[in-house]
Chains A and B, each alone.
Chain A
Amino acid sequence: DAGVTQSPTHLIKTRGQHVTLRCSPISGHKSVSWYQQVLGQGPQFIFQYYEKEERGRGNFPDRFSARQFPNYSSELNVNALLLGDSALYLCASSLYPRDTEAFFGQGTRLTVV
């Protein structure tokens, strides 16, 4: 069975641009969460989606948005990129929001120049 897949794996953007990151959860998983991991830190929670609805939002500016599609895949969008948005963006999937297992993808490494 395929695990959580994220695309692209790496990308470089210029300040002020927009970026879209994609995540496909494990088959059958309905909950998807997004995390930002800055170099040298643990991941920080951005969003959680369950059954195509936003269920939780972390302390991130409105430039960050996301959505979940009927097939439970998800997109994370970031507008007006700042240098500080450079990070590893991780997607996690689980059956339910409150589950005993949460599996992560390999992440998308975003560099803003």
Chain B
Amino acid sequence: AQKITQTQPGMFVQEKEAVTLDCTYDTSDPSYGLFWYKQPSSGEMIFLIYQGSYDQQNATEGRYSLNFQKARKSANLVISASQLGDSAMYFCAMREIASGAGSYQLTFGKGTKLSVIP
């Protein structure tokens, strides 16, 4: 079973509108972290926002906010006031324990391609 599921291969949004990118996750670890990254065509993964599993409030960073619903295991990214420069691939990732002691890995979803329309 996929640990990170992004069900929207592609999304369109009008400039200046808000958009929600969906992400659901699966883990039995009570302590985990959730990340969102933006990947433009250049390839670099740009860190957007982080939510810890014990955080009481939803994370916000400028125009980005994370709608964290722990019971439903969802961590949707909300981008407000979309801009043309927001057009890119967006990846949801979960930090979980890797194979070695004290090691952690990010497990990524397949991504959502966001296109902002002028």
- Residues 76-112 of A contacting B (Cβ, < 8 Å): 88, 90, 92, 97-98, 100-107, 109
**B47, A55: Cβ atoms closer than 8 Å:** no
Residue on A with the closest CB to B97? A56
How far does the alpha carbon of A35 sit from the alpha carbon of B107 in the complex, in Å?
A: 10
* Chain A positions within 8 Å of B108 at CB level: 42-44
Rounded to whole Å, the gap between the CB of A90 and the closest CB of chain B is 6
**B43, A48: Cβ atoms closer than 8 Å:** no
Interface size of A by CB at 8 A reads: 29
* Chain B positions within 8 Å of A67 at CB level: none
* Chain B positions within 8 Å of A107 at CB level: 43-45
How far does the alpha carbon of A42 sit from the alpha carbon of B111 in the complex, in Å?
A: 6
Supplied contacts A42-B111, A56-B98, A56-B104, 13 more A-B pairs, CB within 8 Å: A41-B111, A42-B4, A48-B100, A48-B104, A55-B101, A57-B98, A57-B99, A88-B43, A92-B106, A98-B102, A100-B50, A101-B47, A104-B44
Dominant SS among interface residues on chain B:
strand
Interface size of B by CB at 8 A reads: 29
Dominant SS among interface residues on chain A:
strand
Nearest 6 Cβ contacts at the A-B interface: A56-B103, A42-B108, A56-B98, A55-B103, A104-B45, A45-B105
Name 23 interchain pairs, CB-CB below 8 A, sorted by A.
A33-B105, A35-B106, A40-B110, A41-B110, A43-B91, A45-B105, A45-B107, A50-B102, A55-B103, A56-B99, A56-B103, A88-B43, A90-B43, A97-B102, A97-B103, A97-B104, A98-B33, A100-B33, A101-B47, A101-B50, A106-B42, A106-B44, A109-B43
* Chain B positions within 8 Å of A43 at CB level: 45, 91, 106, 108
Rounded to whole Å, the gap between the CB of A82 and the closest CB of chain B is 21
Residue on A with the closest CB to B59? A100
Rounded to whole Å, the gap between the CB of B5 and the closest CB of chain A is 11
Most chain A C-beta atoms within 10 Å of own C-beta, residue among B42, B52, B105, B108: B105
